[in-house]
Amino acid sequence: MPLPMHPIMAQSFAVIDREIGDHRFSSSEYAIVRRVIHSTADFEFKDLIQFSSSSITAAIAALQQRVPIVVDVSMVRQGIINLVQQTFQNPVIVAVEQATEAEPGRTRTETGLLKCLAQYPQAIYVIGNAPTALLALCHWMIDRPPSSPAFASPAIVVGAPVGFIAVEESKQALAESNLPQIRITGRKGGSPAAAAILNALLVLAWEDWEQQPSRSRLATDAALMQAQI
């Protein structure tokens, strides 16, 4: 069943389409860019969003497989939970809530994020607020090679922290990694932008899912249920 779209959102998308006009994005990339602009009313994001090769494909596959989604703060969860529940019902984990207190020299969000990496090494990671969390993720990947028992391999990382301190550094660290990623360069970002990226990916994943033969979907569901037993 197609996902419903509120008439005001459809009208807003039409306004965005007119103002942007011709663009360089693929249809999937543009769906993400447009949703971020809709959530922020800021057209500069079309010049700030960067996609790594095959990042959207990786995200779609992970969402369809009900991979857990780890977000840095509760505001990102608030922005995605309705669409998650309407689609694949992936578990959503808030990193900051996984730490009752910060470890020495770390923020609480960073501490919680590190716990999530250990528990959910192949999750989807969405960072919309805390650059320390994004830096921690990148440093974890550097310090733990594939041969390490603590190696993590996130399905995709959405890097969109906002602010002035360590924000650009964290995004540069992500850019220099080999992780599948969608990131917002510069100081801009924020929970609404991060949630918009994930919501756009959910819509793309659901549309792709709806186009698959029912037999294929049933086989995937059966495999997922078996894996959970």
pTM of the full structure: 0.93
Q: Output the pLDDT for position 194.
A: 99
Q: Concatenated DSSP letters for 165-205?
A: SSHHHHHHHHHTS-S-EEEE-SS---HHHHHHHHHHHHHHH
- Tokens describing residue 54: 């095959």
Q: Concatenated DSSP letters for 116-157?
A: HHHH-TTSEEEESS-HHHHHHHHHHHHHS-TTSTT----SEE
The class that CATH gives domain 48-211 is alpha beta
In the residue annotation, 38 being an active-site residue is answered as yes
Domain locations in the chain? 48-211
What averages of pLDDT result for each successive group of 10 residues across the chain (229 residues)? 90 98 97 98 98 98 98 98 98 98 96 97 98 96 85 96 98 97 98 99 97 68 53
- Asked whether the CA dihedral 57, 61, 64, 70 is positive or negative, the reply is negative
Q: Output the pLDDT for position 217.
A: 60
* Nearest in space to 90 (alpha carbons), one of 113, 114, 112, 65: 65
Q: How far apart are CA 202 and CA 86, in angstroms?
A: 10
**Which amino acid is residue 193, in one-letter code?**
A
Distances (CA, A) of 210 to 27, 140, 206: 17, 36, 6
